[in-house]
Structure 1
Amino acid sequence: MFESLKIIQQALPALLLGAGITLQITAMAVLLGMVAGSLIGIARLSPIAPVRWLMRAYVDFFRGTPLLVQIFMIYFGLPALTQGFGLTLRFDRLVAAVVALTLNSAAYIAEIVRAGIQSIEPGQTEAAQSLGMGSVQTMRYIVFPQAMRRMIPPLGNEFITLLKDTSLVAVIGYEELFRRGQLIVASNYRSFEIYTAVALIYLALTLVSSQAFSFLERRMDPAKRVAVSPSSPPNRDSALGEPL
């Protein structure tokens, strides 16, 4: 037991460095995926049929194929494809990892955004239009802020899933948390201790992320933000727990 703990202690600095890289990849992929997924999700609701079909095809492809295959397609497949046209294209490992994870997460986030927008009552849009707002203003100021609160739980799940899926970029040699563990095992042959430490670090990261999104969900809930001062009597709206 003491020997195993000593091995884990020796490997911990390198594993924590890999955990930082894992968080970096996840943050970049989620940020870019959120932008792309929001645009795709809104385009999925477009009245133009070809746009809807094209976005549906994108979502179906990236949700219906394994992420590992997508990583290989981008890192190995695209350079091979461009060579056939006499062009030279080489991806840095970090760029290839972020691009693959972004394209994959954008497909899932697009469906989250689409479902969140469709969950808003049509009366909200009609009321905004009656006030003279255009479609862009209605989406920006009325629909999307309300939908965003409802999208926080599934977005948190997507972030945690993507955090764990970063381990797949080890196949292209990028030294994130799991790859660092592989390299340490190759040097000391203590696979059980090292992979146990890797699993516990992933568990800690997912638990912290889950708590962070739960806190964000509570903060964005208007009913839970209403606080009644003890020195002043509650009014009718605050007694009902509705935003003032």
Structure 2
Amino acid sequence: MNGRAMPVLPPAAEALAARAAVERAQGGAAPRLRLRHGLVLGLLWAGAAMAQDAAGETAFAALMRWAPLLLEGFGFNILISFLAMAFGTGAGAFLGLGQIAPSRGLRAFSVGVTQFFRNAPWLVLLFFCMFLLPFEFVVLGATIPFPDWVKAVIGLALPVMANVSEILRGAVASIPSGQWEAAESLGYTRRQTLWRIILPQCVRRMLPPWMNLYAILTMATVLASIVGVAEMMTLTGRALAAENRADLLLSFYGFVLICFFVYCYPIALLTRRLEARFAVAG
């Protein structure tokens, strides 16, 4: 009051502003994972794993018999996430460049494709790819199978493509317009400006949301179990059906949950560190 500025807390204000920018880019609230969440989850799972059936076998012992197969399925989840992220990133980069292209028609097409796949349910895209794509191809008389897991990779790569496209467009838009003008005054063409000045600066701005998108994609790979892909969730269901023990549900699905947490939590930590570092440097 009386003409004096109200006291503020700059570090807290900067942290809130950086978090708000991240949530706007993601389209929703960013989760705050802590190590204690994993510890609580591990304690609950350990308690369930010590339960015994009528024959005296603990759930943990039963889980250990199936663990190699379940971990093999988890490796398949990671493979699907790698391939979907690679294909989605490559296609999304071209689509994002199309959103900022000088051609009005190309911009309209790129924006339309981006918004369509960005707002389409991932499971619906999986079903479309699973049932619309053929089971095999015939090339020069040779029959080439088209397995379900490849269709799952394509189905998951489509929303990744759209999100990467939007991440790239947002990163380019965040570069001050004065850099375009300065490059033009130095005789750079638009293409030279984009590749030599703008895009190199966009990489660090894109990295945190790109890593966050990969973590989301990894957790979404369990959707492939619904369309019959033999990944971790599918194999867990088969193991439970073979054991036919209701007391194994919590321990087996808890094991699946812990595997994904252990894999995705370091990614979340690294993403937060990069967000803080680039928010200060940018």
* Superposition TM-score tier, normalisation by shorter sequence: 0.7 to 0.9
1:146-168 Cα distance to aligned partner (Å, 9 max, x none): 11111122112111110011111
Q: Show the counterpart of 1:174.
A: 229
Q: What is the 5 A alignment of 1:14-163? A: 14-79=69-134, 91-163=146-218
Distance 1:169 1:222 in 2: 36
Distance 2:71 2:237 in 1: 14
Unaligned runs of 5+ in 2: 1-49, 52-57, 138-142
Q: Show the counterpart of 1:234.
A: none
Which amino acid in 2 is paired with 1:26? S
Q: CA RMSD in A?
A: 2.5
Distance 1:95 1:126 in 2: 45
Q: Show the counterpart of 1:183.
A: 238
Change (3 A) 1:170 1:30: same
Q: How far apart are 1:90 and its partner, in Å?
A: 6.3
Contact 1:78 1:89 in 2 (8 A): no
User: Does the alignment pair 1:196 with 2:254?
Assistant: yes
Distance 1:217 1:60 in 2: 25
Q: TM-score, normalised on structure 1?
A: 0.80
Distance 2:270 2:84 in 1: 18
Unaligned runs of 5+ in 1: 83-87, 225-241
- Percentage identity across aligned positions? 31
Q: How far apart are 1:208 and its partner, in Å?
A: 2.5
Which amino acid in 2 is paired with 1:112? I
Deviates more, 1:210-219 or 1:168-177: 210-219
1:167-210 Cα distance to aligned partner (Å, 9 max, x none): 11112221122222122112113222111110111111111222
Contact 2:126 2:224 in 1 (8 A): yes
Contact 1:75 1:91 in 2 (8 A): no
The secondary structure found in structure 1 opposite 2:133 is helix
Change (3 A) 1:89 1:67: farther
Q: Show the counterpart of 2:8.
A: none
